[in-house]
Every structure is written in C-alpha cells, then in structure tokens.
Structure 1
C-alpha cells in the first residue's frame, strides 16, 4: 500500500478555512486527504508550525536547506520525493492510490441552509 506524506509550510491550519480568506487549494487538498483516509489509505500531513520535528526527515531537510521554505509543500510517496512547491492534484492522488478522481471531491451538502441576515441585530 502506498504511503503519502505532505510537509506543509508554516500555517495556522491545513484546511484553508482559517484566516481572513479561504484558500481553495488547501480546502481541495484537505477534502481529498479526508476522502482517502476514510477509505483507509495512509496519508499524513505535517505542519511546519506545529510539527517542526518532522521536517528533519533527511530528504525534506535537504530540500529546505538548499531551497528554503518556498520549496514547501514537499510530498513524499513511499519515502521518495514526488513533488516540491505545490500540492498534489486530485489526478495525482487518484493515480497513487488507484481510485477514481471523482471520489476525492468533497460531498455537497444535502440540506440547504438559508440565513436571513436582516433578522440579526
């Protein structure tokens, strides 16, 4: 079974929904990782802010020392560097784990929620 490790740059959270604006790329990756984990696949993300000890992994540390933090994210597949400086696409995730790309997209809400902001004072 494949093992994917994603070494994220320093950030407050990996979902992309914190801070002043939503980062759609982080949201896409978080959704794909969640879908893969639900299927029992081995995908792990490490955040430089909260888990700096993980970044001493030899290959990741070598990249950081030579290219700096702009090389993040770094993606290892079965311990080998597969990607630097950008997150895997859903197509790449699907290829690595042998799943359909459509299985990695977040599910749409089943119930619509309506908010009337004019009632809030």
Structure 2
C-alpha cells in the first residue's frame, strides 16, 4: 500500500506556520507522521517546495491540467486518485493501512539544539 498526498502550495505541512493554526493540517501531519513512523509507505508533497513531485507524476499533471490547483490536495493510493479537494479522514487512512484510528494521532517531537558555549 502506497499513499501520496499532494498538497497545495503552503509554507509548511503542519498548519502552524501562519497566524492561525489549521486543525485539519495538524491532524493530517500527525497521521502521516504516525504512519511513517510505523514503516508505512505514505508521503506528502508540497507544491511550493517540491514541484518536481507534481510534474513527474502523470496522474497529478493530468488532474492539475483538467481542474487546476483547486483540485489540491489530491490523494493517490497505489498511483490511483482516491480523493481530490480534501484530505483523507483518519478513518480512511486507518482502513487503507489496517490500523486503528487512535494510532494516527502521535505528534511529531521537535528537537532544538542549542549551543551554550561561552566565548
């Protein structure tokens, strides 16, 4: 099972980079992180940061040509479009990967490295 999510252009995938937090982006980021950590094949591509992922995928190129950027996000499951214009629900992701919905809510831990050497 391979799931690819093609995001519209945005500054980050978590939804915490702008003035207000988008809970839907936060939910999706947590689900993708949780599934990836379990070893599942799931990836997200951001149009602003990874345009090659869009242009190198014939299905995505076709969708964008026909419907334009409003079709994003687009979700491919095994290279076949499953959703367009909305993100997959946790229920859909749990069914596709055979896991419980509760397993999709792990939050990525951000580590900061601070060098406190004195001059």
TM-score, with normalisation over the residues of structure 1? 0.85
Which structure 2 residue ranges, 5 or more long, are not aligned? Answer: 108-119
Residue 106 of structure 1 deviates from its aligned partner by: 3.2
Find the aligned partners of 2:106 and 2:38 in 1 and give their Cα distance: 14
Q: Which residue number corresponds to residue 113 of structure 2?
A: none
Find the aligned partners of 1:16 and 1:78 in 2 and give their Cα distance: 26
Residue 70 of structure 1 deviates from its aligned partner by: 0.5
Find the aligned partners of 1:53 and 1:33 in 2 and give their Cα distance: 20
Q: Which residue number corresponds to residue 15 of structure 1?
A: 14
SS of equivalent residue, structure 1 residue 83: strand
Tell me how many residue pairs correspond in the alignment: 106
For 1:1-121, list aligned pairs within 5 A.
2-56=1-55, 57-106=57-106
Residue 105 of structure 1 deviates from its aligned partner by: 1.7
TM-score, with normalisation over the residues of structure 2? 0.87
RMSD: 0.9
SS of equivalent residue, structure 1 residue 12: coil
